[in-house]
Amino acid sequence: MDGEDEGPHSGAMESFENLVRAEFAPKTTYLNTASTGLLPARTLVAMRDAAASAAEGQPLDMFADVEACRSAFARLVGVPATRVAAGASVATFSGLVAASLPAGAEVLTAEGDFSSLVNPLHTRGDLKVRSVPLERIAESVGPDTALVAVSSVQSADGRIADLAALRDAARAHGARTLVDASQSNGWLPLAAGDFDYVAAVAYKWVLCPRGVAFLVVPEDFGGLTPLFAGWASGEHPWASCYGPVEELAHSARRFDESPALFSYTGARHSLALIEELGVDAVHAHDTGLADRFRQGVRSLGHEPVPAPGSAIVSVPGLGHRQGELSRAGVQVSDRAGNLRAAFHVYNTAADVDRLLDVLAD
């Protein structure tokens, strides 16, 4: 019978593949999303149109794009848009959280976590920052811990934090939580409402231009002070242009950085694509390819860093081959001597096999 070999999700898979084909046509075997995601075609068109309109003296309402991005990100992580601040970097938002802590407060982090998250906590100078292995972070929360700051997925090697255990431990000891979702947002489902603060840049897995980042804050703002609030952080921005802002936004918008408007104009369309594809479908696609690579690289005699369920695969001892791979048209990263490959929506089984073929030579 026609179609009898098609699975129940074949229609959804075809729709996913059609969406991807319409947006991406990479000229390399691009396996480096953990560094920078590729821009969808729709995003590039939107940014070109916005730039052309501005050059003609007819700028578009790009602040509407900021609000659309805020709402889209909120939907992706399952919180109201009123809890989401918009900015440009995780470091800025981590610094904002760091500034809210009292002198001498204990902060718990994972060893070797990304500097944009942990460095602002260190540069405060008067916090007790304690680092432990990622696998021990939940059990290391204690009665003196004021904040636990950790990436949901480690940039260096793709290891996934046990966020459920961390959430429970932090609640048991009255500690706040700051999760950096930069390496998971877009492919790994996350309930941001389970944590106090969730920060993420958007130029990786949600395929936005650089200059876009988000911070989820508690409904009561979690003791944050809007240290860099400008006119755009006012409840009525256009009435807040001169002198002190008389009324800050009643929502997390009070913590906004003045937005990089052209980036947000593009980001609106990138985030819409991720929503159309669906995080669950992206997760299945990405992790399936990562598992294919893990199996293949083991057959070549190499053992990846254990990171089950991750879209990022790090292989010790192969980082030195990054240059060779690049010359062969395969884009990956060298991280501390490890080869890091990241698999996303525009990748296929053929990309995995191409990487394995070059490594086998």
What confidence tens digit (pLDDT) does each residue in 300-320 have?
Answer: 999 999 999 999 999 999 999
Q: How confident is the model at residue 10 (pLDDT cuts 50, 70, 90)?
A: low
Sorted by where each begins, the domain ranges of the chain are 10-39+277-360, 53-276
Q: What is the pLDDT of residue 189?
A: 97
Residue 4: is its pLDDT beyond 70? no
Q: What is the pLDDT of residue 106?
A: 98
For residue 70, the one-letter residue type is R
Which of 6, 35, 40 is CA-nearest to residue 21? 40
The Cα-based distances of 187 to 60, 65, 278, 350 in angstroms read 31, 23, 9, 20
Token pair, residue 92, equals 């800025």
How many angstroms from the chain centroid is the CA of residue 207? 9
To the nearest whole percent, how much of the chain has pLDDT over 90? 95
Q: How far apart are CA 346 and CA 10, in angstroms?
A: 18
Cβ(157)–Cβ(123) under 8 Å? no
**Averaged pLDDT score across all residues of the chain:** 95
Span 192-211, mean pLDDT? 98
Residue 207: is its pLDDT beyond 70? yes
53-276 has CATH 3.20.20.370 classification: no
Q: What is the pLDDT of residue 262?
A: 97
Q: What is the pLDDT of residue 253?
A: 98
The Cα-based distances of 324 to 294, 300, 328 in angstroms read 20, 17, 6
Residue 94: is its pLDDT beyond 90? yes
Residue 3: is its pLDDT beyond 60? no
Residue 102: is its pLDDT beyond 50? yes
Torsion, Cα 322 327 331 335, to 10 degrees, reads 20
Q: How confident is the model at residue 2 (pLDDT cuts 50, 70, 90)?
A: very low
Mention every residue, 6+ apart, whose C-beta is less than 8 A from residue 283. Answer: 187, 188, 189, 311
Mention every residue, 6+ apart, whose C-beta is less than 8 A from residue 32. Answer: 331, 332, 333, 341, 342
Residue-wise pLDDT for 234-248, tens only, equals 999 999 999 999 999
The Cα-based distances of 125 to 111, 112, 121, 129, 239 in angstroms read 18, 19, 8, 9, 37
Q: What is the pLDDT of residue 11?
A: 72
Q: What is the pLDDT of residue 74?
A: 98
Q: What is the pLDDT of residue 254?
A: 97
Q: What is the pLDDT of residue 7?
A: 45
How many angstroms from the chain centroid is the CA of residue 124? 24
Q: How far apart are CA 276 and CA 274, in angstroms?
A: 5
| CATH code for the structural domain at 10-39+277-360 | 3.90.1150.10
To the nearest whole percent, how much of the chain has pLDDT over 70? 97
Cβ(204)–Cβ(32) under 8 Å? no
